[in-house]
Amino acid sequence: MWILTLAFALGAEPLPSADALDPLTRSLYLEGRRLAEEGKPAAAVLRFRAVLERDPSWTQAVLDLGQALEATGDVAAAEEVYGRRAFDADAAEALAALLLASGRPADAAAVYGRLRNLRPEWPEAIRLQSLALAAVDPSLADQVFREYLAYPQVDLDADGVAATAIRVVEAHRQAGDNARAAALVDHLVATWPDAAAQTSLRELKEWFDLEDEAAVLAAVGDRPLNVDQVGLLAEARRALAAGDARAARQVLEPLAEENGGIALVWSALAEAREATGDIAGAEQAVGLAERLQPFEWRYPARLAEILSAHYAGRFDSEAAAAAHRAAIAPGAPVGAWHRAGELARIAGDAAAAREAWQHFVQGAPEDPRAADVRTWLAGEERVRPPPPVLPARAERPPDVSDAAWNATWLAIVLHRHANQDPARLHAALDTLAPVRAEAPRFVRAIEVEAALRHDLGEVDRAIALYEESLAVSPGRPEILWMLADLERRRGNPARADARVVEAAAAGSGDALLAQAKTALSAWRPWDARDYLAMYFTGATGGSRTEANRLRAEAERQIRFVHLGSALLALAFATAPVAWWVGRRRGGGIDALLSVAPASWREVARISALIRHEVLKHDTTALDVVADALDRGDPGPAAWAADRLCGPAGAVERFHAAIAELEALGRASGVRLNLRYRDATFGPLLRAFDRLAGLEADLRAGRGAEEVRAVSALLNNEGYRALGRLIHRASRAPIDAAVIRAAWSKAGAIGEPALTLPGELPLVGMFPADLEDVLVNLIRNAASASPPGSRIGVEVDEEEDPITGLSRVVIRVCDEAPRTLSTAAIRGRYIGRGLGLAVDLISRAGGSIHVEDREGWSKAVVVRLPRAESTEEDA
């Protein structure tokens, strides 16, 4: 409904005909319009002034003159011109918009008030008045906004309505009137329960609920620090001031655990964590501080700085939001608005930046930074979206009627004044619709619609329209280049590349330079030279400076290639032999374990490190990255490029672990050839090579399929293969045969008295080590026992209730005089054989004790980790 109303106000009113003017005035006016459309506002101003001197009563010329003056940046003159038609609705609307954008909301509100009388059928004036009043008098803004809401056709989801509501609510909050802010939100939530804008309003409501929660916590749960704790906090602050963040953190971590409700402690801890590199911890701590004291501006301000400084731009929007929360918090210095503006600008939110900096210059006009901010604001006001340019009237195609021709002009003007406002963009589309129906092959109209669709975020539709215009009038380089850009933004790099090729062939300078750059990055300098030759022989667009730079780079690469050719030829001649030898020399992990069985522990440790620190922590995100690429979201891929391929990334850490394994091999005299001779690490090495090769694609936002393939190799096959290796290296069965073999090896006489459980366990130990332990324990018992006495071996199992882990208990019982004790073992007052067994048990994470055992004189009890059997064993 509102779109229609606005369309009526902006578009349905016909452009005043110049036919009624005398020929000279008409000619001047049309020339002024042409100059304005061609981006020459100063020249247009002269023509429009001349028109008004000849016919001062013509309001359309006043509006055109005001817009031209705005375009030159002469705001004061534009204001004066609009002011001449104080009782013309269009002039009043233009004047109010100008005043609002110039940071004069009180004046704007007054003009909107006048506009309400001039255009009583248009309630939008009431909404705009309340928007202007929000910066001046929140109570009055609230009252006016509620008048607007009372109109029956008002819809909360209409453009600008929810934003106005939120602006008024924020104005209440800035004025400290939380009750009135909450009342307005409640009113909106209750009146439009099904509106899409409910999400933002509910978020606002949630914020008020948080305030209530904080108030409750302040009343009942926020115990003050005692004297000792205050001393600790002071000590930590001193350490922080002295630059010793580690010491500060040691004091603050337990203090925070004991006093979870004290924001001050969390805030100091955030500082200490940030200084010691624990950024997520710092973010969490300061976030908690903000929740505990949401009215304290310093906490969101600190959070904004952490997010801005440590995440390489990934969380700039969140940083800007936090800075905004800081700025609106009661008691915040006006400088907080300056920072909020800076962060909003960095995050690309020009509207928020403008609003924040307007607050800043109003609150601190004398601040040294205010001059720069005003300059920025003034520059920002003048920015207009680049308008599509229509050909001169004389170029009107014969199959396009006068009415369609004028309507196309009107759509262009509306687009030019839309400022990305969806309602105005739709009004332009409505104006253009009859043209498109009447003259579907009118290229200019097709492109105007494409530009409008693009501004409305309908990238797919815009692309289809540009393609339609190319079908009518093919081979235009600027349109092909634009399509390349749109395809890239839509996440179709292949189609974008194809468009670049077409644009280059059609003579687009930008496309030729892009092609040359791509060729150079792939070390194809001759191709680059060809593209640049085409550029210099008369392409349109593109930077000549950049072209010269690329030409120099191409020549440099060509010289380099010539120089290296001879060396490469030599290398190629010998490469096959070196490759063949390299693949066959050395062995895999099994070769190392057969030569040096004791190295299995290190192999298992390094394998676990790769599995845990590289695969589990990093590469598991690859599938999600691929999904995001499919959706056209390049953010996660850029993140993955840093995290996986960047310095200290997953690829680098994996190769460090491989180097450690190779060093382990060298220390045992084994040359490891893991890439070609090992079934576990060979595929992993090749998969990591592919991951490293993906970096450029990830940064360019493409390669979803390859990302998914590498993910499968690493996170499924690689992860499981490492698990099997670790598992295989660290378990040994214990049964009657194993014990009898050890009995025999120990030289013991007769038969052991065996007591075994029904289900025989696996011991978490290398099999050869378990045998050594059993042999030495049996030998020790046999040598101490009188002839003919018994020796028993019992196997049992114990469970740990907390960790859920089981241990295998092996008791070697004898009837020898009791000279051995746990203390003697710990103190190493034992023979060499038993000492070896103790070392092996300790390394396997086990223990050894001497205990009483009924029916025997003693039992040497060994407890070792139990390994579980899995389906893979079967």
Query: Residues in the site for another protein, rule: CB under 8 A?
Result: 217, 221, 250, 253-254, 256-258, 260-261, 278-281, 284, 287-288, 314, 611-612, 615-618, 620-624, 627, 636, 639, 711, 715-716, 719, 723, 727, 799, 801-806, 825-826, 838, 841-842, 845-848, 863, 868, 870, 872
Smallest separation, CB 431 to another protein (Å): 38
Nearer to another protein by Cβ, of 611 and 677: the residue is 611
The 10 Å CB-count burial string (b at 16+, else e) for 274-309 is bbeebbebbbebbbbbbebbbebbbbbbbbbbbbbe
- Cβ contacts of 697 within 8 Å, gap of 6 or more: 637, 703, 706, 707
Nearer to another protein by Cβ, of 408 and 619: the residue is 619
Nearer to another protein by Cβ, of 279 and 501: the residue is 279
Nearer to another protein by Cβ, of 147 and 253: the residue is 253
For residues 610 and 459, give the distance between their C-alpha atoms in angstroms, rounded to a whole number.
Answer: 43
Between the alpha carbon of residue 344 and those of residues 173, 317, 569, the distances in Å are 20, 7, 56
Smallest separation, CB 799 to another protein (Å): 7
Nearer to another protein by Cβ, of 689 and 799: the residue is 799
Q: Which amino acid is at 173?
A: R
- The secondary structure element, H or E, covering residue 863 is strand 858-867
Nearer to another protein by Cβ, of 540 and 847: the residue is 847
Task: Count Cβ atoms below 10 Å from residue 331 Cβ, excluding itself.
Answer: 10
State the pairing for strand pair 806-814/762-763: unpaired
Smallest separation, CB 782 to another protein (Å): 23
Nearer to another protein by Cβ, of 164 and 715: the residue is 715
Can you give the three-state secondary structure of 660-688, one letter per residue? Answer: HHHHHHHHCCCCECHHHHCCCHHHHHHHH
Q: Which amino acid is at 731?
A: R
Smallest separation, CB 869 to another protein (Å): 9
Smallest separation, CB 825 to another protein (Å): 8
Nearer to another protein by Cβ, of 555 and 868: the residue is 868
**In the structure encoding, which two tokens stand for residue 141, read together?**
């803004």
| Cβ pair 754, 793 in contact under 8 A | yes
**In the structure encoding, which two tokens stand for residue 791, read together?**
């020796």
Nearer to another protein by Cβ, of 362 and 806: the residue is 806
For residues 138 and 171, give the distance between their C-alpha atoms in angstroms, rounded to a whole number.
Answer: 6
How buried is 225 (Cβ within 10 angstroms: 0-12 exposed, 13-18 middle, 19+ buried)?
A: middle
Phi, psi of 805 (to 5 degrees): -80, 150
For residues 8 and 66, give the distance between their C-alpha atoms in angstroms, rounded to a whole number.
Answer: 22
**In the structure encoding, which two tokens stand for residue 15, read together?**
């452009």
Smallest separation, CB 714 to another protein (Å): 8
Nearer to another protein by Cβ, of 422 and 723: the residue is 723
Nearer to another protein by Cβ, of 253 and 660: the residue is 253
Smallest separation, CB 841 to another protein (Å): 7
- Cβ contacts of 333 within 8 Å, gap of 6 or more: 297
Nearer to another protein by Cβ, of 152 and 804: the residue is 804
Smallest separation, CB 707 to another protein (Å): 12
Nearer to another protein by Cβ, of 188 and 263: the residue is 263
How buried is 133 (Cβ within 10 angstroms: 0-12 exposed, 13-18 middle, 19+ buried)?
A: buried
User: Cα 817 vs. chain centroid, distance in angstroms?
Assistant: 71
Smallest separation, CB 604 to another protein (Å): 13
Smallest separation, CB 280 to another protein (Å): 3
For residues 599 and 607, give the distance between their C-alpha atoms in angstroms, rounded to a whole number.
Answer: 12
Smallest separation, CB 644 to another protein (Å): 12
Smallest separation, CB 311 to another protein (Å): 9
For residues 185 and 202, give the distance between their C-alpha atoms in angstroms, rounded to a whole number.
Answer: 8
Nearer to another protein by Cβ, of 153 and 199: the residue is 199
Smallest separation, CB 217 to another protein (Å): 8
Q: Residue 792's closest CA among 775, 808, 811, 774?
A: 811
Smallest separation, CB 694 to another protein (Å): 17
For residues 342 and 363, give the distance between their C-alpha atoms in angstroms, rounded to a whole number.
Answer: 16
Nearer to another protein by Cβ, of 53 and 868: the residue is 868
The dihedral through the CA atoms of 778, 782, 785, 788 has a sign that is positive
Smallest separation, CB 218 to another protein (Å): 13
Question: Token match 């901010």: residue?
Answer: 373
Local structure of 795: helix, strand or coil: strand
Nearer to another protein by Cβ, of 107 and 618: the residue is 618
Nearer to another protein by Cβ, of 199 and 543: the residue is 199
DSSP string spanning 515-553? HHHHHHHTT-HHHHHHHHHHHHTT-BSS-HHHHHHHHHH
DSSP string spanning 301-359? HHHHHHHHHHSTTTTHHHHHHHHHHHHHSTT--THHHHHHHHHHHHTT-HHHHHHHHHH
Smallest separation, CB 620 to another protein (Å): 5
Smallest separation, CB 331 to another protein (Å): 25
Residue 796 gets which letter from DSSP?
E
Q: Residue 355's closest CA among 328, 315, 333, 317?
A: 328
